[in-house]
Structure 1
Amino acid sequence: MNFEFTEEQQEFRKILSDFSKEELLPNYTKWDREGLTPKHLWKKLGELGVNGLRIPEEYGGSGADCITTGIAAEEIGRGDFNLTYAVMLNALIGEILSKHASDEIKQLWLPQIASGNKIVGIAITEPSAGTDAGGIQSTARLDGDVYVLNGEKSGISVATCGDAFIIFAKTSPDLGNRGISAFLVPADLDGLEVKGYEDMGNIPVGRGSIYMHDVKVPVSNRIGLENNGFYQVMNGFDLSRLLIGLQCIGAAMQSLDETIEHVKIRESFGKPLAKYQAVSFPIVTHYTQLELVKWQAYRGLWLRDQGLKHSRESSSVKWLGPKYSADAIHECLLLNGHYAYTKEMPLEQRLRDVIGLEIGDGTAQANQMVIAKDLIGKEFRTV
């Protein structure tokens, strides 16, 4: 067993760590306050090679392994939690398009995703279909050389700033999960409308709903085989859930680092706060929990790189990563006192942002169901 990162991975981490602290962290709260998506930073991440980590070199990416992609999620998460969507979303979308899309779609979209010139979202969730992704009601009807899409998608990241979306719709409604297909749908097509949300957190991510009214999509924009969309994205979630865990842990570890410096300096009753076990022990507890989940995440990414089964590891990281991170950031907020409850410090925003990913890409309960099915057996799955 070797837990050491390669020299190249260590150098990549150093580059991203410096960039994150010097360029991202000072402006992390700015985009939340102004309600803006910093598209120029998505392009900057493209220059650093972050957007194209899971995109083949022939399409402008680097074809990096999953562990390297995890390093990016962790380090960018330290500086700007919301910009880590450039890692997580693009890794998921890069894999889906490079493995299943037509050459035309790959050549047109993958280089632009890798460069950061285009932002692409993934649209599965609907008002009545979240955890039960197979319960979507949106439809795609074949009409000559186009598919006609109708329906509504909800809770979609980058809805208000995306240039295109991978939209999942039923092409054979009578087949259930086996009747879902995926399509690359440009945001400027006639009949497609977007409405943004006023969210608690993740403001710069631009979440919202997508409405489709007879949206005509060329057959060439279908991704993969007809009626095969559900299964190609389910495999992708095993990657995105691991990256989400590291994204959250990066934000929590940064919060712990800042808080450790605070309690070493701030005095109470004549000595630094860090001298009190009631202060130091909670910090130690949260650090330990985060470290455990972090290495479970990297183990899951290693398994994926080896082509081995990793759904159980992925779901455990997605379940506990956001939970432990939110708990740690909350503790940090309390230890920093009432100023941390203001918007003068980044802690309150990190807490709001991380809580959002206790929901996205599978709730705690959904991930526990995946683990139970794998651990106990499909026939004993609880509902």
Structure 2
Amino acid sequence: MILTDDQRALRDTARRFAEQKLLPDYQKREKSERLDRDLVREMGELGLIAPDLPEQYGGLGASGLTTGILIEQIGWGDINVSYVPLMASLTGKVIAGYAKPALAEYWLPRMILGESIVALGLTEPRGGSDAANLLLKARRDGDSWVLNGEKTSISFADQADAIVLFARTGAVEDGARGISAFLVPLTLPGVQRTHFNDSGSKIIGRGSVFFDDVRIPADHLLGDENKGFVQVMQGFDYSRVLIALQCIGSAQASLDEAWAYSTERTAFGAPLAQYQGVSFPLAEYDTLIAATRQLCYHALELRDAGEAHTAEAAMVKWLGPKTSVDAIHQCLLTFGHYGWSMDLPHQQRLRDVMGLEIGDGTAQVMKLIVARERVGRVAVQYARDSKK
């Protein structure tokens, strides 16, 4: 794939930012367990956050492919920081498409400049992959909505300024057809937040958000009442591809370091790269990462052309994290006993990427989606019938 001049310029800007500002302190940031908001604002000033959002809000009106290329480069420096532009693109598209004009005009420029972070509130304690199985309730009360319930496994739970929240406005038996979406500031009375002690991606601050009679204006409804799930979930094909590119960027960083090390380290009087037992595994994973990257780019090109890309998005969502985990693991082994040290970044990358084998859709769910796209409902109907 040949990039345009504009894409190359943006990619190079993102790469310089990753090399100069992200990679050197990647491991140091983990200890803080907080996002560096000054770093986020600097990223926004460079145009690296949600370039796909409309120009009227401060975005670049760029393609999904361009956005993916930037996120991959940022992920090369720090996969956790790359989650900021990814989330801004996902929630920003929802706000741009479904929020009232005044609401969009307030939040979107702040998100693009890195001044505000908007989280996504979908997962609840009783269901993750079963995304429509929601209990958090939104009740209409005059010119307001009143929210009660809990969201869990929320990225930026204790740091976000607002959240795109999915809540049940219809009956439980209505399933996805009884869910609405809202934009909720997280500074309102009745909001409480927690911070999980995760194995990786610590600066993202995954946690739970509790809503106890939280009152929001009626105009904070996004889209149509009881149709929010159907309307908004369409954007998840996009975010799945961006997640895969995050992972690929992180794996590529470890591969770049392992290749360099293989030429510097000697054993039995020769560089490690001379031994096929060292170079061949790296060559294999470099190939697999490159192939996964091209499938990601293909999925984004389909999206930009208005073509169906649900199957391709599901493919890369399971393939990207898995291949990246395996590649980083091999790089850790390439460094031998040095690789096992906490002083080198491979162990952290392994932990950070591994979380995305779970988050935003497991491999099993993604494969089910691919099967459903290929052969229709027969892929899932038998399992449902067998439970009756």
Give the aligned partner of residue 42 of structure 2.
44
2:332 is matched with 333
Distance (Å, rounded) in 2 between the aligned partners of 1:330 and 1:303: 32
SS of match in other structure, 2:3:
coil
Cα distance in 2 for partners of 1:54, 1:145 equals: 33
Instruction: Give the equivalent residue in structure 2 for 1:295.
Output: 294
Report SS of the residue matched to 2:60.
coil
- Give 2:34's aligned amino acid: L
Residue 342 of structure 1: how far off its partner (Å): 2.0
Shift of 1:206: 1.0
* Paired residues for 1:73-92 under 5 Å: 73-92=71-90
Kindly provide the CA deviation profile for residues 327-358 of structure 1, in whole angstroms up to 9, marking residues without a partner as x. Answer: 00011011112222222111111111000111
Matched residues in 2 for 1:86 and 1:307: separation? 25
Contact 1:121/1:165, CA 8 A, preserved across alignment: yes
Q: Which amino acid aligns with 1:70?
A: G
Alignment check: 8 A CA contact 1:242 1:300 kept: yes
| Unmatched segments (≥5 aa) in structure 2 | 384-388
Aligned partners of 1:292, 1:233: CA distance in 2, in Å? 30
Pairing 1:213-224 to 2, within 5 Å after superposition: 213-224=212-223
Q: Given that residues 119 and 164 in structure 2 are in contact (C-alpha distance below 8 angstroms), is that contact kept between their aligned partners in structure 1?
A: yes
The corresponding residue for 2:276 is 277
In structure 2, C-alpha distance between the alignment counterparts of 1:252 and 1:372, rounded to whole Å = 27
* Alignment partner of 2:144 out of 146, 153, 157: 146
Deviation at 1:181, TM superposition (A): 0.5
| SS in structure 2 of the partner of residue 150 of structure 1 | strand
Of residues 53, 56, 59, the one that matches 2:54 is 56
Q: Where do 4+ consecutive residues of structure 1 move more than 6 Å?
A: none
Number of aligned residues: 381
Q: Which runs of 5+ in 1 are unaligned?
A: none
Give the equivalent residue in structure 2 for 1:179. 178
- The residue identity in structure 1 corresponding to 2:108 is L
Q: Quick one: which amino acid aligns to residue 376 of structure 2?
A: G
Q: 2-side partners of 1:34 and 1:221: how far apart?
A: 33
Query: 1:87-166 to 2 correspondence within 5 Å?
Result: 87-166=85-164
Residues 182 and 229 of structure 1 are in contact (CA less than 8 Å); yes or no, is this contact kept in structure 2?
A: yes
Stretch moving more, 140-149 or 336-345: 336-345
Q: Which piece of structure 1 moves more, 227-236 or 356-365?
A: 227-236
Per-residue deviation, 1:228: 1.3
Give CA-to-partner distance per residue, 1:296-340, whole Å, 9 cap, x none.
Answer: 000000011011100000000001000000100011011112222
Task: Give the superposition deviation at 1:380.
Answer: 2.9
> Which residue of structure 1 lines up, in the alignment, with residue 374 of structure 2?
375
- Return the letter of the residue paired with 2:345: P
State whether residues 52 and 63 of structure 1, in contact with CA within 8 Å, keep that contact through their aligned partners in structure 2: no
- Report the 3-state secondary structure (helix = DSSP H, G, I; strand = E; otherwise coil) of the residue aligned with 1:82: coil
How large is the Cα RMSD of the aligned pairs? 1.0
TM-score by length of 2: 0.96
Does 2:168 match 1:170?
A: yes
2:64 pairs, out of 56, 63, 66, with 66
Deviation per CA, 1:143-163: give whole Å up to 9, x if none: 111111111111000111100
Task: Give the match for residue 239 of structure 1.
Answer: 238
Question: 1:178-226 deviations in whole A, cap 9, x for unaligned?
Answer: 0100111111111110000000000111110001111111111111111
Counterpart in the other structure of 1:11: 9
Scaled by the length of structure 1, what TM-score is found?
0.98
Partners of 1:254 and 1:232 lie apart in 2 by 36
> What letter is aligned with 1:371?
V
Hey, what does 1:208 align to over in structure 2?
A: 207
